[in-house]
Chains A and B, each alone.
Chain A
Amino acid sequence: MKRLPLILLLVGLGTAAHAQQPSGTVIAVPPLTSPDSGSKGNQMLAVGLDISQLIASDLRQTAELVPLPTKREDYYSYPEVTAPSLYKWRTAHAKTLLMGFVQSRSDGRLTVGCYVYDVDKGRELARKGVVIGPNDWRRAAHKCSGLAYSAVTGTPGIFDTRIAYVAESGVGDGRTKRIAVMDSDGYSHRYVTAGDTTVLTPRLAPKGSQLAFVSYAGGQPNVRLLDLDSGKDRSLIQSNTISFAPRFSPDGSRIAFSMMNGPNSDIYVVGAAGGAAQRLTTSPGVDTDPSFSPDGSKIVFESDRGGSQQLYTMNADGTGQRRLTFGNGWYGTPEWSPDGQWIAFTRRGQDGRRIGIVKADGTGERLLTTGPGDEGPSWAPSSHEILFQRVGANGRSGLYRITLDGGEPRAMTIPSDGSDPDWSGVMD
């Protein structure tokens, strides 16, 4: 967070006419009010303040929205929720306003309503009501954040999503790796493997209830499938050969992965519920890191069949394989964006490992990060932002986020070193 004001300052210097205007849309998030009275009303106002502060915190993480600080004295009455006084927010240079209420229900649960207004036009942009358990206010806040984000940007928000990654601790041969899962704002952080076995590349199912990953539990790397609710896991396929690089299809029904065939690494696909694996590639060398297009009809992957590691696409049944990238350097770890337009990748070259994007037709390639220790891009559900792993000059590995507009990557706050991040779709 310390870095953000600096960026804003630099942007401001570059455009002197807008010296006070940050690059994103300014949004006011005064504390949610309540129709309830008495001590219940005070209770609901306290919850409302928590929710509003979390919404502001959510939106502060984005590049598109810049929330004003949520202040207790900006309290408003219940009728004002649907008839806001906008003059105050115009003078505060807010372009967007998020208001709402928290109401207690007779069954002990809460109704949370959120309303988004265009301050200049005096027009309502969106509204949403959710009924939540008494302690689920964070969830309601994330839903309201998503409402404001999509009202302003026209794309889905990323707030009610999960991130899985490999948490690393210790040094050298004593280094342990555990898979951790958390909400995308860092809360509800928990470890889902014990740390007694090396684990790699967690990949969340689209609905977030299952996780595919690579485990060395059997002495060699193998893809396993973990049910996050029950905690039970199983081998993805019955085989004593090395398997790795799993990824779910967008509907969650299939998993593409790599498996060794003698000295060849080939791409296979198997039903998430079981069944026989189908081999999709046969070329000598390394074919790996498959990733489905959002409609499930195509797969992008990396292959060194042409002499150097490059990106290729094929139909999901293995037909129609063709090369996508022809640039200098080595291209790997492709991931198709949720909106279908882009493919993110890691490029290795003289300048180290850098994250880049290329259009799904192979044109418009550009690099987003400077490296030299970046890899493993994973798209936010918004398709506007990428999460990736960066190894710093001190050899320590962290998770970073960068938007397609460029700028400096922002470090995610996690309890230890982290690698192999994966961002889920929106929960429901």
Chain B
Amino acid sequence: MRRTLLILGIALAANTAQAQLPFLTKRPAQPVIQGIDALRADFAAQSGGTTVYFGAESVILGAPAKNVLSAQAAWLRRHPEVVVRVEGYGDGGDTRDHALAIGARRAEETRDYLVLLGVPSAQLSTTSWGKERPGLGRAVTILIR
């Protein structure tokens, strides 16, 4: 937790510096991506996907999910101006509120992992769709807003 805060602090300091000294923003050799659709496409392409999957009733991130999240975290650190919503989903066979709670837990676990990898928490918000989007059970989607 202490490490997270430290990283977060550095990230915030970097942000502040960039905000105050506009010429610094030219330094990263990032291509400028215009428009939310292009941003989303680049994020998905470079991260290996926007969705990570969980086991039945599970809120634990497996190795494949962590790989995707590592790539996502790297992308998000390169794009501190981008805010994303971590959207959790429950199982369609579950009851309404339990699915909502499980989706929220999955979203929180995913958000915490991204923060652990150095993504400033200010870039991240969470929500849960429970079983409201039937196609996407047992998953978390990271949506650029």
Write the residues of chain A forming the contact surface with B, with a CB cutoff of 8 angstroms: 173, 198, 200-201, 214, 216, 219-221, 242, 244-245, 258, 260, 262-265, 286, 288-289, 302, 309, 332-333, 346, 348, 352-353, 375-376, 419-420
Please judge, given known A-B contacts A352-B93, A376-B95, whether A263 and B100 are in contact too, CB under 8 Å.
Answer: no
Please determine whether B128 and A333 come into contact, CB atoms closer than 8 angstroms.
Answer: no
Please determine whether B101 and A348 come into contact, CB atoms closer than 8 angstroms.
Answer: no
Please judge, given known A-B contacts A198-B132, A263-B112, whether A219 and B97 are in contact too, CB under 8 Å.
Answer: no
> Which of these, A220, A286, A346, contacts B101 with CB under 8 Å?
A286
Given contacts A263-B105, A263-B109, A288-B98, 14 further A-B contacts (CB under 8 A): A200-B130, A214-B100, A216-B127, A220-B128, A258-B97, A260-B105, A260-B108, A262-B112, A265-B104, A288-B101, A289-B98, A309-B98, A346-B95, A376-B96
Contacts of B132 in A (CB 8 A): 198, 200
Indicate with 1 or 0, residue by residue over B122-133, a CB within 8 angstroms of chain A CB atoms: 000111101011
Please determine whether A219 and B101 come into contact, CB atoms closer than 8 angstroms.
Answer: no
Cα(A129)–Cα(B133), bound, Å: 51
Please determine whether B109 and A302 come into contact, CB atoms closer than 8 angstroms.
Answer: no
Quote the shortest CB–CB distance from A328 to chain B (angstroms): 15
Contacts of A221 in B (CB 8 A): 100, 127-128, 130
Please determine whether B127 and A242 come into contact, CB atoms closer than 8 angstroms.
Answer: yes
Please determine whether A201 and B97 come into contact, CB atoms closer than 8 angstroms.
Answer: yes
Please judge, given known A-B contacts A263-B112, A265-B104, whether A348 and B95 are in contact too, CB under 8 Å.
Answer: yes
Number of interface residues of B (CB under 8 A): 23
Quote the shortest CB–CB distance from B60 to chain A (angstroms): 11
Please judge, given known A-B contacts A219-B85, A221-B127, A286-B105, whether A244 and B100 are in contact too, CB under 8 Å.
Answer: yes
Please determine whether B127 and A200 come into contact, CB atoms closer than 8 angstroms.
Answer: no
Residue B94 at the chain A interface, CB threshold 8 Å: yes
Chain B residue with minimal CB distance to A219?
Answer: B127
Contacts of A244 in B (CB 8 A): 97, 100-101
Which residues B117-145 have CB closer than 8 A to chain A? 125-128, 130, 132-133
> Which of these, B59, B95, B105, B133, contacts A333 with CB under 8 Å?
B95
Residue B69 at the chain A interface, CB threshold 8 Å: no
Please determine whether B93 and A286 come into contact, CB atoms closer than 8 angstroms.
Answer: no
Q: 6 pairs across A/B with beta carbons < 8 Å? A: A258-B101, A260-B104, A262-B112, A263-B109, A264-B105, A352-B93
Please determine whether A173 and B105 come into contact, CB atoms closer than 8 angstroms.
Answer: no
Residue B102 at the chain A interface, CB threshold 8 Å: yes
Contacts of B127 in A (CB 8 A): 216, 219-221, 242
> Which of these, A198, A263, A289, contacts B97 with CB under 8 Å?
A289
Quote the shortest CB–CB distance from B98 to chain A (angstroms): 5
Cα(A282)–Cα(B132), bound, Å: 27
Cα(A265)–Cα(B85), bound, Å: 19
Indicate with 1 or 0, residue by residue over B65-103, a CB within 8 angstroms of chain A CB atoms: 000000000000000000001000000011111101110
